[in-house]
Amino acid sequence: MEKRKFLIVGCGTAALSALKKMRKINSQDEVKLITMEPYLPYSPTSLPYLLSKRIKESEIPMVTDDFFDQMKAELVRGRRVEHIDIERREVIYDVHGRESYDCLLIATGSEPALPSIPGLNNKHAFHLRTLDDAKKLLWKIKGTRTAIILGAGLIGLHMAECLAERKIKVIVVEMLPQILPAYFDQDASRMIQDVLEKHGVRFFTDHRASEVSWKKNGVEVSLKNGKTLKADLLLIATGVKPRLSFLNASGIKVNEGIVVDSEMRTNVSNIFAAGDVAEAKNFLTGNYGLNPILPNAAEQGKIAGSNIVGRKVEYEGWLPMNAFNYFGHFAISVGKPMPSDGDEVRVEKKEDKGIYKKIIYKDGKLLGASFLDINLHSGVLHYLIKKRAEIRGYEEGLIKMPAEKSLWLMHEAEKKETESLED
Amino acid sequence: MRTFYDTLKIEENGCPPDCFACRKRCEEVKKGKDSGGNGIREVHLPKINFHMAITCNQCTEPACLDACPTGAITKSLTDGIVRISETKCVGCRLCDLACPYGGIHCDVKQKKASKCDLCDGDPQCISICPDHLISLMKARSIVEYLHEDQFLMGSPLCSGCPAELALRLVMRVMGKDTFLFGAPGCACLILSGMGTKSMCLVPSHLSNMTNCPSTMAGVKRYYRRIRKDVRCVAFVGDGCAADVGFQPLSGAAERNENIIFITYDNEGYMNTGIQRSSTTPYMGWTFTSPVGIERRGKQMPPKNLPLIMAAHQIPYVATAVIGYPEDFVKKLTKAMAIKDGMSYIHILSPCIPGWGIDISASIDVCRAAVETNYFPLWEYERGKYCFTYSVDKPKPIGEYIKMMRKFSHLNGKDIDEIQELVNRRFAHIKALTQLSERSSL
């Protein structure tokens, strides 16, 4: 059989797991990856840890130097893709570069979303999305004593923690009334916020920044209520958006992200998308949406890789989930953060002791779980939701002994699945 | 080609309540290291009577590996162990979020993830488990160890016959330096072939039922004399071993000849058309132990040949079934290692037409025989008896009996009687193992 040529745009988690999957299936086809990054592949998730010096820059790459040789793939670094010609099956990069393909995977990830606030620009404000961002920031924070972070999502709070670890005074401005709105309810968020405040992070929730003005050695952020905050540094963490400007007028269907079906295929049959850039089905609701988190990218990449080489695999859909470590505490959230109509909820909280446990379920199936400072295996909860495992009668147990009960339920579900395979 | 690696196997739901020996041992072993000591954890749920240890499965495609933002998790291509690099790990917990089996533990204080690394191939938790529930599945070693198939394909044996599987496995383990012996019976068809064509790739000899062990002894002595290490292996049926050729077998055992004698016990003379042998079970149907108004199959209990062989006090005797291949391979390996005497392995080998079982059922029947204690897996090694596979809750013998038509005439009372016989025989072997345990103290 003639060798096909697969092209992957991007070299993050989704791209790498697609590549690994292709080779695992024993595809002998040619694979080429094009990335705008001049570095070996790394994940933006690791960058905040660079600020807190928990990891060295040399430890950032996700793969070893010889990885692409082992995978018999070619990595083209420092090339920015500008257009895709779906008729001629070509990718155009850096004005003159052209690369043909038989099958294309778009895994370009996401870039910071800049809120429209007067005075805010990319030139002065800092993001933390690429290694270059991190390097700039590392250089900048050497003389920084105070910093303002816009946005109290995971990236914002990660940065807040890392800067606070470096004894920098941090102020976080969030327009919603609570922090981490995508993953936790108000009570849990409050408890996380309390801990962060105890470690010197100041919060202005329910506050909108109205104007940013740049001073000689610092920045001033005016809030809607008239207050003005001053700091040496401004960090933007108001979320991310898919990196897909190069798809303009290409014919590939784009909504919020690139719309993909359950095989991670776009409306063009030989073009696939995976990771932060893909708009896929939500496992629980069936609605299409973005889910820019790393485990999601890894899974979608695997599925795309498998389908590209011709082994059909269906994507079940994504789940919102995340884990957040802060000052020796940790919070995890898997599945639905808030119950909708008809869902049942079980909560146990002891705010003085910092204990918070919550599960959301319906018809004996787990839909969501969030726990603060409870030593359990969050992946097992993830498994229980994804497998739609029966938890009826053990809801109380999941609150009382979440670690043990969830492991047992997982074990039972696994056994049932093995038995049904044997039948 | 697929590669196979070692994994920790933990028996399901069998831990003693409140035991955490494995976790304690893991903590001890990994003490002083930055991460580790969380490789295994026990789950005790007394209310639902569930007690089991949970550890990493060392997955082929680890979900944790793909979810790691710094590439700190790697799967070794040489030993298959999934390891975490301490310098690269940032303790972000994404691996824990990705692992469905609870195989990774993230420590808040240490800000690192840790997991089982199989102690680099020698897991320390195995020896500490009081109930011997943890073992290292030597899947990789078996596959690496196994040599190529020493037989060509297309044997004339019945479809679904486990004897062929057993013989192929035996020869994969024994390898090329083997002289294979057979006697008239089903297996001689793969050994010597049909007509002028043979399927066997090693030297083989089809002797008579009455002189197989004696011939082997002679050949083995010749090889010893020319200083060649060639294994002499016999693969014969129960008719030869227990009945017709029993005298030379007993004689060879008494002289302690350095041969490996394997009996595939299909409980009758199946090759000649299903007649009773001395290992046909009590009340089992054959053409010569028919079922009528007066007689209800064979009237007397079978001969316990492996026990008789152990009574000869040869170095090694074992029972095995193809339904537990790892156990079987272990025993074959032990038999191969014996250079100072005879080893004997007795395999239960269900016969598709003779027992009246389904073509696809032979492996299930093998397993059921073990799980009902009808055919316990044990070994006798230089004077000591021990079980190699312990059945926690033996199934009633009825479960085994209903799988085959040779027992279809039995009523409830008959089954009770057979159950009692099974219990008695099992108690006998158990007593022998306990005797060995006591004498070793």
pLDDT value at residue B27: 87
Confirm whether A319 is domain-assigned: no
Contacts of B45 in chain A (CB under 8 A): 401, 404-405, 408
Question: How does A112-125 read in b/e, with b if 16+ C-beta sit within 10 Å?
Answer: bebeebebbeeeeb
Rounded Cα distance between A63 and A85, Å, is 31
What's the confidence (pLDDT) of residue A95? 77
**A20 reaches B (C-beta below 8 A):** yes
Residues contacting residue A353 through CB under 8 Å, at least 6 positions apart = none
Q: Which residue has the higher pLDDT, A107 or B437?
A: A107
Taking every pair of Cα atoms in chain B, the longest distance, rounded to a whole number of angstroms, is: 80
| Test mutation, A128, A165, A329, A377, chain B, max B CBs within 10 A | A377
Q: Which residue has the tokens 């094009």?
A: A34
Percent composition of chain A: helix, strand, coil (DSSP 3-state, to 5)? 30, 30, 40
Chain segment A164-194, per-residue pLDDT in tens:
888 899 999 999 999 998 889 999 999 999 9
Do the bridges between strand B82-84 and strand B73-75 make them parallel or antiparallel, or are there none, so unpaired? Answer: antiparallel
What are the tens digits of pLDDT across the range B14-55? 888 888 889 888 888 887 665 566 888 888 888 888 899 999
Contacting residues of A for B102, CB less than 8 Å apart: 377, 379-380, 406-407, 410
Give start and end residues of each alpha helix (H) in B5-155. Answer: 21-29, 63-67, 94-98, 125-128, 139-145
- What does the block give as tokens for B200? 């066997």
At A32, the amino acid letter reads K
Vertex A390: Cα angle to A387 and A396 (nearest 5): 120
Mean pLDDT of chain B: 89
Q: Pairing state of beta strands A218-223 and A228-231?
A: antiparallel
pLDDT tens, B188-212? 888 877 777 778 889 999 999 999 9
Whether residue A125 is contained in a domain is answered as no
| Residue of higher predicted confidence among A96 and A370 | A370
A398 within domain boundaries: yes
**Within-domain flag for A116:** no
List where CATH 3.30.70.20 sits in chain B.
7-140
Q: Residue B97: which of A63, A321, A329 has the nearest Cβ?
A: A321
- Yes or no, beta carbons of B102 and A294 under 8 Å apart: no
Enter the tokens of residue A239: 């979320």
pLDDT tens digits along A263-278: 999 999 999 999 999 9
User: Closest-CA residue in chain B for A414?
Assistant: B101
Whichever domain contains A354, its CATH number is 3.30.390.30
| Final residue before a domain boundary, out of A238, A271, A288 | A238
Location of structure tokens 């001689």: B188
Residues with Cβ within 8 Å of residue B342, at least 6 apart in sequence: B252, B253, B256, B257, B258, B259, B260, B261, B312, B314, B315, B316
Residue ending a domain, choose from A199, A214, A238? A238
Chain A interface includes B61 (CB < 8 A) = yes
- Residue B146: per-residue pLDDT: 66
**Which amino acid, residue A377?**
H
- Give the whole-angstrom CA distance, residue A259 versus residue A270: 14
Band the pLDDT of B139: cuts 50, 70, 90.
low
Please state, in angstroms and rounded to a whole number, the distance separating the CA atoms of residues A208 and A118.
12
- What is the model's pTM? 0.70
Q: How many domains does chain A have?
A: 3
Residue among A76, A99, A88, A103 nearest A3 (CA): A103
pLDDT confidence of B11, banded at 50, 70, 90? Answer: confident
Instruction: Name the residue range of residue A83's domain.
Output: 5-110+241-308
Window 247-306 of A: residues touching B by CB (8 A cutoff) are 294-295, 298-299, 301-302
A73 touches A66 (CB < 8 A): no
User: Token pair for residue A347?
Assistant: 């909560």
Distance (Å) from the C-alpha of residue B52 to the closest C-alpha of chain A? Answer: 9
CA distance A406 to A403: 6
B102, A328: Cβ pair inside 8 Å?
A: no
Judgement on whether residues A218 and A304 belong to the same structural domain of the protein: no
ipTM score of complex: 0.91
Please tell me the distance from the alpha carbon of residue B276 to that of residue B295, in angstroms, as a whole number.
Answer: 14
Give the pLDDT score at B320.
Answer: 96
Query: Model confidence over B336-365: pLDDT tens digits?
Result: 999 999 999 999 999 999 999 999 999 999
Specify whether A248 is located in the same domain as A234: no
- Chain-chain contact of B70 with A62 (C-beta, under 8 angstroms): yes
Share of chain A above pLDDT 70, in %: 99
Classify domain B148-425 at the CATH topology level.
Answer: Rossmann fold (3.40.50)
Residue A282 has pLDDT above 70, yes or no: yes
Q: How far is the C-alpha of A320 from the C-alpha of A285, rounded, in Å?
A: 11
Residues A213 and A361 in one domain: no
pLDDT surpasses 90 at B60 = no
- Which of B100-109, B246-255, B327-336 comes out lowest in average pLDDT? B100-109
pLDDT tens-digit readout, B406-430: 999 999 999 999 999 999 999 999 9
Same domain, A32 and A178: no
> Is B43 within 8 Å of A328 when comparing Cβ atoms?
no
**CATH 3.30.70.20 at B7-140, yes or no:** yes
Contacts of A229 (CB under 8 A, 6+ apart): A148, A171, A173, A204, A220, A221, A222, A223
CA distances from A150 to A121, A146, B110, B206, B253 (A): 13, 13, 30, 86, 86
For B391, half-sphere exposure in the C-beta direction (CA atoms, 13 angstrom radius) is: 19
User: Which of A19, A161, A294 to mutate against chain B (most B CBs within 10 Å)?
Assistant: A294
Q: Does B99 touch chain A (CB under 8 A)?
A: yes
What average pLDDT score do residues B292-316 get?
Answer: 93
**pLDDT tens readout for residues A30-76:** 999 999 999 999 999 999 888 888 888 899 999 998 999 999 999 99
In the listed set A308, A339, A362, which residue is the last one of a domain according to the structure? A308
Residue A104 shares a structural domain with residue A26: yes
Comparing A92-96, A308-312, A328-332, B79-83, the range with the smallest average pLDDT is A92-96
CATH of the domain at A223: 3.50.50.60
From B51, which residue of chain A is nearest by alpha-carbon distance?
A408
State the residue for tokens 């609701």.
A285
The answer to whether the beta carbons of residues B365 and B357 sit under 8 Å apart is yes
Give the residue on B whose Cα is nearest the Cα of A386. B100
Quote the DSSP letter at residue A135.
H
**Mean pLDDT: which of A122-126, A273-277, A348-352, B84-88 is highest?**
A273-277
CA distance A137 to A235: 9
pLDDT at B326: 87
Token pair 């011997």 in the structure block, residue:
B132
Tell me, what amino acid is at B248?
P
Q: What is the pLDDT of residue A123?
A: 75
What residues of chain B lie within 8 A of the CB of A21, using their CB? 61
Distance CA A269, CA A262 (A): 13
Considering chain B, tell me which residue range(s) the CATH 3.40.50.970 domain(s) occupy: 148-425
Mean pLDDT, to the nearest integer, of B4-8? 81
* pLDDT tens for each residue of A303-343: 999 999 988 999 999 999 989 888 888 899 999 988 888 99
Residues B118 and B6 sit within 8 Å (Cβ to Cβ): yes
- Number of neighbours of residue B15 by Cβ within 10 angstroms: 24
Does A336 fall in a domain?
Answer: yes
- Sequence-separated (6 or more) residues with CB below 8 Å from residue B149: B168, B171, B172
- For the cut 70, the answer to whether the pLDDT of residue B141 exceeds it is no
Name the residue facing B66 among A302, A323, A332 (closest C-beta): A302
Are the C-beta atoms of B180 and B201 separated by less than 8 Å? no
Check pLDDT > 90 for residue B234.
Answer: yes
